[in-house]
Structure 1
Amino acid sequence: MKKLLYNTFLMLLVISGSADLTKAQSGKLLFPEAPGIVSFTYRNNFAKDVPGTLDMIKGNGITDIEFSNLFGQKAEDLRRMLDERGLKCSSYGVSWEALTGKTVEVAAAAKALGAQFVRVANIPHTKGTFTLENATMAINEFNRVGKILKDQYGLEFIYHNHGFEFEPYQGGTFYDHIVKSTDPKYVSFELDILWAFFPGQDPAKLLATYPKRYRALHLKDLKKGVAGNNSGGTDQNNDVVLGTGQIDIPAVIKAAKKAGVKHYYIEDESSSSIEQVPQSIKYLNSLKK
């Protein structure tokens, strides 16, 4: 009996030690959690089979989704499908026209989805030319709509950069001007790290410069050898597995965590997203502090 108790005691010590070791190893990881996903990553799949695509997302261990399309579903029905699978929609992306012209309808859909954020990823402008007039119009609309969304619906507006905003302006860029000129109470930002890197910016530096303004990130990587510009456009297949491209992903995540960012959405626009997303998740979960 004593021998049995002693052996049991030793076994418990081993189990406890293993648990402590696992905990310690987890504590050394930079990104041990599951990332979120942007619905655009699986746009073709969603267009054919919404429930099946949600099942695939859940199968990858992802629970946090940013929807930029309802894929023919009512917001209430999509929310039901999410709830049935233990998934959530934290951000709802809409067009400029919907944001500014149908704010009430957008807010209603966002609330039905259970979203915290309403996001827009474009500012109307002539392609290849982003001007002070465009930036000023955006600043005014962001402040106006952001106030409505927060004060009337308890939602937070976030703007997603797309590259064209980084034209030089007054020792900085129009993007800097937009960040500095919008009301932090009503306007926050989502940093798409590829669309910051592509026009020559450092995503980690932006996070460090405006640490209180960012709520979310789009995690993506740019294929090696691809040259950038301020156009806001590149071949979608230039999106590669995180860690295999040009962007210093660990530096970005360290800066984002220091800035208090809570939502990290993988967005893989390539035709290989089904194969690449699991590889990107594996890469993120392997990073050490």
Structure 2
Amino acid sequence: MKIKNLLLAALVFSAGNNLLLAQKGKQLFPEMPGMVSYTYRSSLSKNTAVTLDTLKGLGIKDMEFSSLFGKTAAELRKLLDERGMKCSSFGVSYEQALNKTKEVGENAKTLGAKFVRVAWVPHKGAFTVQKADSTIADFNAIGKKLKDEFGLTFCYHNHGYEFEKHEDGTLMDYIIKKTDPNYVSFELDILWAFFPGGDPAGLLTKYPTRFKLMHMKDLRKGVEGNLSGGTPVTNDVALGTGQLDIPAILKAAKKSGIEHYYIEDESPSYATQVPQTMAYLKSLKK
């Protein structure tokens, strides 16, 4: 009897350990994140349909488009529908969002997007508090119109220059605090938060409900950042091979309000780096 009891106890202990290992071994991304169209901008411009086939073959189902690539929104939507893919976010310029809000909203709805995103505020020299104030007013107006007329959520994508010091934080903090959360949300580009000296994971923890979208990209080792909002595209590297602490950022993101994750790789080596990034994401465990 004692031997049977010991065997039973051993089996229970083993099963418990296996369950714990299985839980620890759960993938952080059981399904692949989406893709920013800018990664495949050259290919999409030449042959949109074939490029979408390539992306589908990689397991990509969700797209953020920052261009219609010479097509109408309806034509692009048809290509997505035929492949069982979707567009969740539509990126436009500041000028388009401000002065062509109705057209932007109509295109976003046709694409099936829930979000409209702007990634750059036109400015000369350093980004100032005066520029931030006018930006805040514009964002609140754009966001209200998109929400009220189209049911869309407006998001601003940081680009680095907003991390100028201001009071006890940065102008990025200032913009987040001063914009109306009913009408303005944010897309965190983790490289463009890290490059100017910011903390991507810290931002998600500090403002857990304001960020709805995320661009996942990594910065080449040895590259020093600044507040310019620009760096050579060759400094984009596959996730997990650069300077950013990707696991820490993604763990913070999973506790935040992020709804869509997108891979972005601006480098000319995207064809080889994107598969590396995807393999890395598949290897990450909770």
Pair in the same fold by TM > 0.5? yes
Give 2:107's match in structure 1, choosing from 100, 109, 119: 109
Partner of 2:249: 252
Report if aligned partners of 1:32, 1:284 keep a CA contact under 8 Å in 2. no
Partner of 1:184: 181
Report if aligned partners of 2:37, 2:67 keep a CA contact under 8 Å in 1. yes
* 1:137 paired to 2:134: yes
Q: Deviations over 1:179-223 (max 9, x none)?
A: 000010100000000000000011000000000101010000000
What are the ranges of 5 or more consecutive residues in structure 2 without an aligned counterpart?
1-14
Matched residue type, 2:105: A
Partner of 1:198: 195
Partner of 2:267: 270
Matched residue type, 1:233: G
Please give the alpha-carbon distance, in whole angstroms, between the structure 2 residues aligned to 1:53 and 1:90. 18
**Residue 171 of structure 1: how far off its partner (Å):** 1.3
Report if aligned partners of 1:124, 1:134 keep a CA contact under 8 Å in 2. no
**Residue 125 of structure 1: how far off its partner (Å):** 1.0
**Residue 132 of structure 1: how far off its partner (Å):** 1.0
Q: Deviations over 1:20-60 (max 9, x none)?
A: 98x93686222222111000000000110000010011011
The 3-state SS of whatever aligns with 1:259 is coil
Report if aligned partners of 1:120, 1:160 keep a CA contact under 8 Å in 2. yes
The 3-state SS of whatever aligns with 1:90 is strand
Report if aligned partners of 1:167, 1:174 keep a CA contact under 8 Å in 2. yes
Report if aligned partners of 1:236, 1:269 keep a CA contact under 8 Å in 2. yes
CA RMSD after TM alignment = 1.5
Please give the alpha-carbon distance, in whole angstroms, between the structure 2 residues aligned to 1:240 and 1:27. 26
Identity across matched positions, percent: 62
The 3-state SS of whatever aligns with 1:269 is coil
Partner of 1:84: 82
- What is the correspondence of 1:1-289 to structure 2 with a 5 Å cutoff? 24=22, 28-126=26-124, 128-289=125-286
Q: Deviations over 1:122-172 (max 9, x none)?
A: 11211x311111100110011011000001100000000000000000111
Please give the alpha-carbon distance, in whole angstroms, between the structure 1 residues aligned to 2:89 and 2:102. 16
Report if aligned partners of 2:155, 2:185 keep a CA contact under 8 Å in 1. yes
**Residue 78 of structure 1: how far off its partner (Å):** 0.3
Matched residue type, 1:165: E
TM-score by length of 1: 0.91
The 3-state SS of whatever aligns with 2:156 is strand
Report if aligned partners of 2:187, 2:213 keep a CA contact under 8 Å in 1. yes
**Residue 274 of structure 1: how far off its partner (Å):** 1.2
The 3-state SS of whatever aligns with 1:150 is helix
Matched residue type, 2:151: G
